[in-house]
Amino acid sequence: MNAVNGIKKGRFIVVGRVGMDLSPVGRTQTEHASEMFVAMGGSSANIAAGLVKLGLSADLVTCVSDDAVGRYCLNQLDNYGVGHAHVRTIQGEERTSLAVYETRVDDHQSVIYRNNAADFQMNVADVEAVDYSQFSALITAGTVFAAEPSRTAAFRAFELAKDAGIPIIFDVDYRPYSWPSPAVAADVLSRAGALSDVIVGNDEEFGFMAGGIEQGLQKARDLAATTAEIVVYKMGHKGAVTFAEGQEITTGIYPVEAVKPTGAGDSFMAGFMASLSQGRPMKDAILRGSACASIVVAQEGCAPAMPDTDQLDSFLLDHSGPTQS
């Protein structure tokens, strides 16, 4: 399988959560807030919205609760043009995820409400209802594997994607609060990584899978040498090392005045995939993904801050350029 060929066709099925984000207006701390900015959230939904803004097609597979928050999420998916024929509304005690995070970098606070999360109720029947032949690539993020029945369903989606001959793109996205233990997370995320054609993660996440942060870079290198076609090892402000096409490509970042630390990874994924879909060289695609990440951390909100193609091109035109790698 050539993963880039599937990515170039630009029809993505994205597996994972959608939720509601609340942010105090301005740089206010949550405990002193009197007004909130409301937006769609959830890593998979953010990625899907970013893909659509950049001219691609994306459909989401997940579950939402049968209440006002769940309906808000469905309405937002419509607003962004993300398909939700495979988003199931469920009844019961489970609730759609809610995140409260601040638009500030210093002393940033995030509070994530994930107890009895509705998206973890995604089951095998949900993923088996998808016709994977209608899509050209599958994207998911690590949180989808954190609990059952979502974990088994996600692995089944991987099997079905492979049967359909479409590449699997995996953002490790380790969130400790979602997992029963670090040991379970390391085992499950490593299994998911071994099945993936494209893997994106940061130095801590690869280190986590490898058993120590000092072993993370070698873990990324080993995955690229054995099972994955593309592995992106992100290092925050130090840029990234990408293993692809038999090369190790080092890239910097586009410095900006960040107003929050959230949303960068989701935007990077959308920008990276969109750039590969346009046939851009690997290094150019990575840098455009990095530019998307910088655009999002410099603005309020996550999904609303995802750039479209014109905004991305304008940013690149106006910016002095990436840091030296």
Element (DSSP H or E) covering residue 138:
strand 137-141
Percent of the chain with pLDDT over 90: 95
Q: Is the pLDDT of residue 210 over 80?
A: yes
Predicted confidence band of residue 33 (pLDDT cuts 50, 70, 90): very high
pLDDT at 167 over 90: yes
325 band by pLDDT with thresholds 50, 70 and 90: low
Strand order in the sheet with 198-202: 83-90, 57-65, 11-15, 137-141, 168-171, 198-202, 230-234, 240-244, 247-251
pLDDT, residue 324, reads: 83
Please tell me the distance from the alpha carbon of residue 198 to that of residue 233, in angstroms, as a whole number: 11
Rounded to an integer, the average pLDDT of 195-214 is 93
Residue-range domain boundaries for the chain: 3-318
Of the candidates 59, 52, 224, which has an alpha carbon nearest to the alpha carbon of residue 137? Answer: 59
Helix axes of 182-194 and 203-210: crossing angle, nearest 10 degrees: 100
Region 63-76 average pLDDT? 98
- Whether the model clears a pTM of 0.85, i.e. scores above it, the answer is yes
* Interatomic CA distance for residues 185 and 174, integer angstroms: 8
Token pair in block for residue 38 = 């409301």
pLDDT (tens digit, 9 = 90+) per residue, 121-152? Answer: 999 999 999 999 999 999 999 999 999 999 99
Mean pLDDT of 204-216: 91
Does the structure show a pLDDT above 90 at 271? yes
DSSP H helices, the chain, are 3-9, 43-53, 68-80, 124-128, 150-164, 182-194, 203-210, 216-226, 264-277, 282-297, 309-318
Fold held by 3-318: UDP-N-acetylmuramoyl-L-alanine:D-glutamate ligase (3.40.1190)
Token look-up 């909100």 returns 301
